[in-house]
Amino acid sequence: MSKKNPVVLVTITLKLYLVEPPVEYMDHGSCIEFVICAENEEEARNTHPNGYRMDEVYRQYGNTAYGWVPYNKLNELEITYLGDAKPGLEKGIIIASNRDG
């Protein structure tokens, strides 16, 4: 009779972050902040307000991320940890605010 390896389940606690750009990127029609459910701050920082990964946006459009901070300025984003996400909440943008006027 062969021994089976035990199955180990790893649970990742997702976190909630508020992501805000520097004031100079808050133009008319641009996103001024969003809340995201992510594994960590790096994932939150590298997500476009539309939910795309910024490296994918960069490959497609270059350094311009329409309505958001350019790829080479992501380190200037202010990231605020809001707390742990409720179990069952999926990764992604929860809400985003735009400056419309």
Residue 3: pLDDT over 80? no
As a whole number of angstroms, the distance between CA 82 and CA 34 comes to 12
Model pLDDT, residue 24: 82
Residue 45: pLDDT over 90? yes
Q: Where are the domains of the chain?
A: 15-98
Closest to 92 in 3D by CA, of 39, 54, 42? 39
Query: Once rounded to an integer, what is the mean pLDDT over residues 43-69?
Result: 85
The number of beta carbons lying within 10 Å of the beta carbon of residue 93 is: 19
Confidence of residue 28 (pLDDT cuts 50, 70, 90): low
| CB neighbour class for 100 (10 Å; exposed up to 12, middle 13-18, buried from 19) | exposed
Model pLDDT, residue 32: 84
Identify whether the C-beta of residue 79 lies closer than 8 Å to the C-beta of residue 45: yes
pTM of the model: 0.83
As a whole number of angstroms, the distance between CA 38 and CA 23 comes to 24
